[in-house]
Amino acid sequence: MSELQAIAGIRLRSIEDGCRQLADILELQAPVAPKVLIAALQSEEYARNLLICRRTPVFLATLLANPVGSPPQEAGSGKGTLELMKEASGALARWGTVGFSVVDDEVLEQRLGACLACPNLRSSGSAANALHKLMKTRASCALCGCDVEKKARMSSERCPGEDPQLTGHNRWGQPLSVA
């Protein structure tokens, strides 16, 4: 298993436990900050940069002090930070099983279009009314807590919302019966 897959495979018993697991992977003495853990689980690029820089203390310190991203804090999701982090961790682990592959542009556009039209979309901005704006705006799914722009790119991901117009399918057009 690669170290990137090790990060993707972090299983959270608690936030503190996840911070310790990531510190072990990065060969750090002290647990990383929760924001660093969240960023590493949500962003493959950030996780990869941590691994690349782990033996370059100056660069690593900069990355640790400036974690990208943060967990969605959307009203109405009803989920706590730990639960959202577990789901982000699970999504990254699933993505690792398919080699971190991404969908093609056509599928990405179809998925993001469905999210834009979905009542479960929660946006931190007011401009989520076009694809190019959605891709620049943090927007998350209230059902799973995921950043939809990232989630939609992952070939391993599924939409958790049932399509009211297409029986037996979710809003991304995937059959509900498939695990």
Residue ranges that bind ligand SF4, judged by CB under 6 A: 114-115, 118, 120-121, 141, 143, 148, 159-161, 171
Helical ranges in 55-80 per DSSP H:
57-65
CB-closest chain residue to ligand SF4? 161
Nearest CB to ligand SF4, comparing residues 54 and 169: 169
CB of 105 to ligand SF4, least distance (A): 17
**Phi, psi (rounded to 5 degrees) for 98:** -110, 25
Nearest CB to ligand SF4, comparing residues 67 and 161: 161
Question: Within the chain, what is the greatest distance between any pair of CA atoms?
Answer: 54
Question: Which burial class, exposed, middle or buried, applies to 67 when counting CB atoms under 10 A from its CB (0-12, 13-18, 19+)?
Answer: buried
Which three-class secondary structure state does DSSP give residue 107?
helix
Nearest CB to ligand SF4, comparing residues 31 and 160: 160
CB of 80 to ligand SF4, least distance (A): 19
Nearest CB to ligand SF4, comparing residues 108 and 143: 143
CB of 164 to ligand SF4, least distance (A): 11
CB of 142 to ligand SF4, least distance (A): 7
Cα-trace Rg, the chain: 17
